[in-house]
Structure 1
Amino acid sequence: MSTTDEAVRALLLLMPRLVGRAKRVPVPEQLRSFAPRHLSLLSYLLFDGPMTVNELADRLEVAPTTVSLMVGELGRAGVLERAEDEQDRRRRIVSVTEARRPAIEDWLARGARAWRVALDPLTPAERALFVATLRTYESALE
């Protein structure tokens, strides 16, 4: 791409196809009523491990009450569980239940594989620039 306008045109044509393909990834049966709006929450718990509601709220950039409601919904469905924090018994740690973990991992695996194919050839600096660019794009849309 020689100009910014050419790159913008290419991305405007590409983005709807990317979103369309992402939406066609089948959601596991037991997650169909929750998965689309809880994808980021489930991803954080799988990739980063169990954490508190406040930690999830910070990462998702939403209020803790919003996360608490989502965790409650997913907990009633048997997707998430809350356990007492061993270091501070006043805190609750949220994690994916072992019964639902395989379905969630399988669901996210296709996207993770595709990102690895796209990102592996890049240098660490190029990967960081790519992620920063997508974040800037997201912010500019708001």
Structure 2
Amino acid sequence: MSTGLSLTEAVRALLLLFPRVVGRVKRAPIPDELKSVAIAPRHLSLFSYLQFDGPMPVNELAARLEVAPATVSLMIGDLSRKGLIERREDDADRRRTIVSIAPNRRAAIEKWIVAAAGAWQTALEPLTDEQRQTFVATLARFEEALNR
């Protein structure tokens, strides 16, 4: 007797579940310290890269986010004006701009990221390493299929 889901059952379950998940992510509370600067959940990936991997050039951030450098430059300009991101010239190549989280906003941004990370840790903790790898790869394939 199988305890798993057929492909059709799994697709149905995910079609019903995913809109709720996306809706919940969009309603994730932004720390009080950041509410006045009008940031949005779409900024979470950008801040996560900078938090986890440290300062980086705009082009590298754009590649990781899989968007055009001009798009990231616009986001960074907006976030910089709000005091959330700092920009500086790269000492090794003055044509490049290095971006980082503003030191006075780092704690609030980390608080926002930790909340999302905590939910993922709760969901992924019971899985084996191989199951986690399969889950992440499956989500990546889903996202790729949506882009076709």
Q: Deviations over 1:32-69 (max 9, x none)?
A: 52223322111111121110000001011111111111
Pick aligned residue for 1:9 from 9, 12, 35:
12
CA RMSD of the aligned region, Å?
A: 1.8
**Could you tell which deviates more after superposition, 59-68 or 114-123?**
114-123
TM-score, normalising length: structure 1: 0.88
Which residues of 2 match residues 53-68 of structure 1 at below 5 A?
53-68=58-73
Shift of 1:83: 2.2
Amino acid at match of 2:132: R
TM-score, normalising length: structure 2: 0.85
Amino acid at match of 2:126: P
Pick aligned residue for 1:19 from 19, 22, 32:
22
> Which residues of structure 1 form unaligned runs of 5+?
none
Matched, 1:139 2:144: yes
> Which residues of structure 2 form unaligned runs of 5+?
none
Runs of 4+ in 1 over 6 A off after TM superposition: none
What's the counterpart of residue 117 of structure 1? 122
Question: Identity of paired residues, percent?
Answer: 61
Find the aligned partners of 2:5 and 2:39 in 1 and give their Cα distance: 43
Shift of 1:140: 1.6
